[in-house]
Every structure is written in structure tokens, then in C-alpha cells.
């Protein structure tokens, strides 16, 4: 694949990575959020501070971790603290500017479900659970979300509230005494979304190259709102694509049992 060709997943990861700043202290979720955060660190934000739930601070992994307990995170961290210190002092102490999360289910107000699909007592699917995400969602300065669009993932009503977003919309967070901003950005494989300043409903502000409004609606379980002016997401640059592909190649080699520096 050439630098002028890219997949929807590559577009999503790179678009999400661009949201992080060099000065951010980011609490990183495993999976798509981890990929986006590390691409930011390897490109435009080399001084971003990445924190993982296991207590690793300022980590700079050469490959993407399989879990928060991956030794790669501790090996490359500036320091590793206990989980209670991580949550009480760093997160709840207001020292994390961005929480970067994924979702199994999400609604129009950025409420996230990673617990169960279906009834809680008799679920169709039992998901991994929230881990630290509920605390990240309420205590981080703001929340970025990234996920692949589908009608199954983007639903009108989530089956379980794992991580609170904007609740029922409007000032719901404030009425509950939550002082942080909550979800301010969602990047999917089709579009970039931001919450309406009044209703807090996620609204499409940018379509990825080649994506139409109809394509976005077809993969969303609620009636999509579009901003008054919808822009086109800038395509990945050659450097961004090479950085992502090299990272994925190193990760594939490492997880297959090879050395992390090998190409796939």
C-alpha cells in the first residue's frame, strides 16, 4: 500500500492522534486509543505524557501493548507508581488533561458501555468491563473517544452506563457535580464528531476523504446531526502513514514472538 492509499482504520487512528498536544498528560486506553496516542508521541507531540492504568507514567513503548500489564509499558516509563496513587493523586487530583477511551457501545451524548450487551442479569454478551474508565471519564480534564462505526456500536440507547459522558445532554454533568468537560471529541473511521455546545449531542464536523453523509448515517443507530459547515478531514501525510505502519509492523513481529525491531 502506498503513502497515497490508506485504510479507514489508518485514517481514524491518524485523525485521532492529531487531537493530542505536546503539553497533554493523557490517560490512555488499550486498543485504538493506544495506537492514536503513540502515533501522536512519535510525530507531532514528542513530549506528550502517556499514562496507563497500571501506573506507568511517561511511557514510550516501541510496540503497542497487549494490555495495561504489558512489560513494555513499565520498561519504557519515566516512573511506575501504585494503582491507588495513580488514581487518587494523578487522576482524581486533576493532573490528567485528556482521557482517551474506546467503546463497545456509545450513544449520541458520549455515554459509554463496556460492561454488557443486553440485560445485565442475562446478557447476550459479557464485555470486559469498565476497569478505570468510569473514573477516567469523570476526572480527566476532557475525554477523546475513538471507535469504528457500526449500528451495533453507535446506538440510540446503551444497555449499561459504564462511563458517564453527557448523560441525557445539556447540563446533566454539571447537575451531578462533575466539573470536568467530559467527551469533547469522537473520531470514527468515517468522521470527526464534536458535541453541540448546548445540547451536548455529538455532531459531525468533518468527513474523512471519500466519505458521504449517507455512509455515516448508514453506520449509526441514531439520526445523525451535521454541523452547519462540514469540512473534509485532511488525508494522512506520508510521515504519519509510515510512522503508523512501522509501529504496527513492530507490534506484529513482537507479538508473534520476534524481536520488536523486526519488520513484519
Catalytic residues: 53
CA–centroid distance for 254 within its chain: 23
DSSP H or E segment with residue 207? strand 202-207
Q: Distance between CA 33 and CA 16 in Å, rounded? A: 8
Residue-level length of the chain: 264
Q: Tell me if 205 sits within 8 A of 227, measured CB to CB.
A: yes
Closest CA to 197 of 207, 187, 205, 188: 205
Alpha helices in the chain (DSSP H): 8-17, 32-42, 71-75, 83-85, 133-139, 172-175, 213-218, 238-255
Q: Distance between CA 57 and CA 86 in Å, rounded? A: 9
Q: What is the 3-state secondary structure (H, E, C) of 7-76?
A: CHHHHHHHHHHCCCCCCCEEEECCCHHHHHHHHHHHCCCCCCEEECCCCEECCCCCCCCCCCCCHHHHHC
DSSP H or E segment with residue 226? strand 225-232
Q: Distance between CA 103 and CA 115 in Å, rounded? A: 10
Q: Distance between CA 46 and CA 25 in Å, rounded? A: 12
Amino acid at each position: 500500500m502506498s503513502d497515497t492509499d490508506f485504510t479507514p482504520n489508518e485514517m481514524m487512528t491518524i485523525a485521532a492522534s492529531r487531537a493530542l498536544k505536546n503539553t497533554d498528560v493523557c490517560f490512555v486506553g488499550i486498543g485504538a486509543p493506544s495506537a492514536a496516542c503513540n502515533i501522536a508521541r512519535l510525530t507531532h507531540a514528542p513530549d506528550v505524557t502517556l499514562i496507563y492504568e497500571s501506573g506507568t507514567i511517561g511511557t514510550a513503548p516501541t510496540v503497542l501493548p497487549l494490555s495495561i500489564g504489558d512489560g513494555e509499558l513499565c520498561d519504557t516509563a519515566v516512573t511506575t507508581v501504585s494503582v491507588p496513587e495513580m488514581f487518587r493523586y494523578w487522576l482524581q487530583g486533576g493532573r490528567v488533561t485528556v482521557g482517551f477511551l474506546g467503546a463497545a457501545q456509545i450513544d449520541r451524548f458520549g455515554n459509554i458501555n463496556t460492561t454488557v450487551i443486553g440485560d445485565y442479569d442475562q446478557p447476550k454478551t459479557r464485555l470486559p468491563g469498565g476497569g478505570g474508565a468510569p473514573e477516567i471519564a469523570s476526572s480527566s480534564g476532557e475525554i477523546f473517544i475513538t471507535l469504528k462505526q457500526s449500528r451495533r456500536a453507535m446506538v440510540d440507547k446503551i444497555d449499561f452506563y459504564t462511563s458517564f459522558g453527557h448523560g441525557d445532554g445539556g447540563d446533566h454533568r454539571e447537575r451531578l457535580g462533575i466539573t470536568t468537560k467530559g467527551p469533547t471529541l469522537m473520531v470514527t473511521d468515517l468522521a470527526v464528531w464534536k458535541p453541540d455546545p448546548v445540547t451536548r449531542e455529538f455532531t459531525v464536523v468533518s468527513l474523512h476523504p471519500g466519505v458521504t453523509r449517507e455512509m455515516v448515517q448508514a453506520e449509526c443507530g441514531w439520526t445523525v446531526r451535521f454541523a452547519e459547515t462540514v469540512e473534509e478531514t485532511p488525508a494522512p501525510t506520508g510521515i504519519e502513514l509510515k510512522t503508523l505502519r512501522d509501529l504496527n509492523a513492530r507490534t506484529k513481529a513482537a507479538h508473534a514472538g520476534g524481536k520488536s525491531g523486526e519488520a513484519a
